Amino acid sequence: MKRILLILAAGLLLLLVVLLLRTQLFSEPASQGVVEPAQVLLDESGAVNRLAGALRFKTISRPGPGPQNPATFGPFVEYLKSSFPAVFSRLQVETVGGYSLLIRWPGSDASLKPILLLSHMDVVPVIPGTEKLWIHPPFGGVVENGVVWGRGALDDKSGVLGILEAVETLLRQGFVPEREIYLAFGDDEEVGGQQGALAIAKLLKKRGVELEFLLDEGGAITRGIVPGMDGPVALIGPAEKGYLSLSLSAQDTGGHSSQPPTTTAAGRVARAVERIQSQPFPLSMEFTGEFISHLGSDIPFVQRLLFANAWLFEPFIGHFLPENPALVAGMRTTTAPTMLKGSVKDNVLPIQAQAVINFRILPGETSATVTDRVTALVDDPLVSIKPYGFVSEPSGVSSTESYGYQILSRSIREVIQDPQLVVAPRLVIGATDARHFESVTDSSLRFLGVTLGPEELKGFHGTNERVTVEGYLEAVKIYYQLLLNAAG
């Protein structure tokens, strides 16, 4: 008996040593080395004014076939042309679809694979009823006290203008790239990117272009957003989740509600929703684990211990995690019932009831595997399950060891001279245009070098969208530095 206890104790001790050792090895030191500061000579006040001017165009995209609104997109493209004359006179500019632009800057060394900088010209509308909540008019392009205000300040005109600003500066300074550079600006990202980014990607594919990497929006430099981290954390998205909505509907004969059957169509659909919501998709520690491994020892010990030993803790991780929707969104395919419809009157039985559930799919699963799981959970042949709206599969996962990730990471550190800065990979939970380019590259990175605090974060598709002047100029400098490093 004593012997058994002794063996058990020794085993436990060994396990503890293994767990602690793995925890120690898991976390890189938070500081990722000092690099030479970047020297970027920018026309800073001009750059800020050009961004502010761009926010005054109401480039709200509309879904469906046909070009975007000529009354706003036409003048916006003209504005870009007059703001960046060197880009538009010296580089090869092509219009794709309605107003999307593909710009090519040939390189001197044809053996190097080209790179692509991507962003989008269109914006989402202002939510009706919130106009009065804006401190400055959403399409005013106001600059005040070091902040640029307006729809598109973050998503994504700071990308379009930032890229053009960096390239215009390099052209004026006489920079000659060795590596070919493409710039692409879609006009319909917010409505799916079919006529913009997807058409551009198909064009590149047809021409046999293979990219070393591409850079799109999707990550940023965060401050005060990652729990436990005091310094800035630059989040680069190596992958993005997929998007699927499923409609669940049931039919009935209807009739008077005073003589109801045992289950109405509304009850049937409600039961289906409950079955799906009470059985969430399994948690995966993969993406969040890699993210946390880059944050170093600033992250609480317990979290490091858990993620360093995913092989042991993954099946029970749900019991350890705090109620944190942002954290969980990076770890599973999420389930969000969003729309419900039944009878038109309280005393009339519904002849049809419908619910719509939105899923954000983790890489590794597909819209088909999600639909299969949902069908099995509902387990009711009288509930019909169909896709609703557009579907986007999760992207592939780009390696953090890749040339693109490494050179972007270095460029960020060269511009943001903060000893506390950490660069880390983070799964993007929304959809970006980058997903359309998987046929021309296996290295798609999602990052825009603006700085986001909790207040700025609310501006994405929301109210009071804004970017700090300092944050915007840093974004321009990171594009500039990346082009120098990757193409020079």
Least gap, CB of 120 to Zn ion (angstroms): 6
Nearer to Zn ion, 354 or 392 (CB): 392
Query: Is 189 one of the catalytic residues?
Result: yes
The single residue of 122, 190, 433, 465 carrying the catalytic annotation is 122
Least gap, CB of 249 to Zn ion (angstroms): 32
Of 378, 344, 375, the closest CA to residue 271 belongs to 378
Are 349 and 255 in contact by the 8 Å Cβ rule? The answer is yes
Least gap, CB of 9 to Zn ion (angstroms): 56
The whole-angstrom separation of Cα 340 and Cα 388 is 13
Nearer to Zn ion, 185 or 287 (CB): 185
Residue 80 half-sphere exposure toward CB, CA atoms < 13 A: 28
Three-class secondary structure of residue 247 per DSSP? strand
Least gap, CB of 154 to Zn ion (angstroms): 8
Within 8 A by CB and 6+ apart from 69, the residues are 59, 60, 62
Q: What share of the chain is helix, strand, coil (3-state, %, to 5)?
A: 40, 20, 40
Binding site for Zn ion (CB under 5 A): 155-156
Of 277, 258, 281, the closest CA to residue 269 belongs to 277
Least gap, CB of 427 to Zn ion (angstroms): 16
Q: What torsion, rounded to 10 degrees, do the Cα atoms 404, 410, 415, 417 define? A: 150
The single residue of 189, 216, 414, 433 carrying the catalytic annotation is 189
Query: Is 442 one of the catalytic residues?
Result: no
Are 35 and 413 in contact by the 8 Å Cβ rule? The answer is yes
Least gap, CB of 460 to Zn ion (angstroms): 8
Are 142 and 58 in contact by the 8 Å Cβ rule? The answer is no
Nearer to Zn ion, 156 or 365 (CB): 156
404 class by beta-carbon count within 10 Å (0-12 exposed, 13-18 middle, 19+ buried): buried
- Phi, psi of 76, deg, nearest 5: -65, -45
Least gap, CB of 189 to Zn ion (angstroms): 5
Nearer to Zn ion, 212 or 240 (CB): 240
Bond preceding residue 156 cis, omega within 30 of 0: yes
DSSP state of 392: B
Within 8 A by CB and 6+ apart from 176, the residues are 108
Of 97, 98, 77, 70, the closest CA to residue 202 belongs to 97
Nearer to Zn ion, 156 or 252 (CB): 156
- Phi, psi of 412, deg, nearest 5: -60, -45
Three-class secondary structure of residue 257 per DSSP? coil
Nearer to Zn ion, 119 or 441 (CB): 119
Tell me which H or E stretch contains 360. strand 352-361
β-pairing, 233-236 vs 422-425, is parallel
Are 411 and 213 in contact by the 8 Å Cβ rule? The answer is no
Amino acid letter for position 53: G
Nearer to Zn ion, 155 or 414 (CB): 155
Nearer to Zn ion, 156 or 180 (CB): 156
DSSP state of 382: T
Are 160 and 80 in contact by the 8 Å Cβ rule? The answer is yes
Nearer to Zn ion, 180 or 188 (CB): 188
Three-class secondary structure of residue 368 per DSSP? helix
Give catalytic residue positions. 122, 189
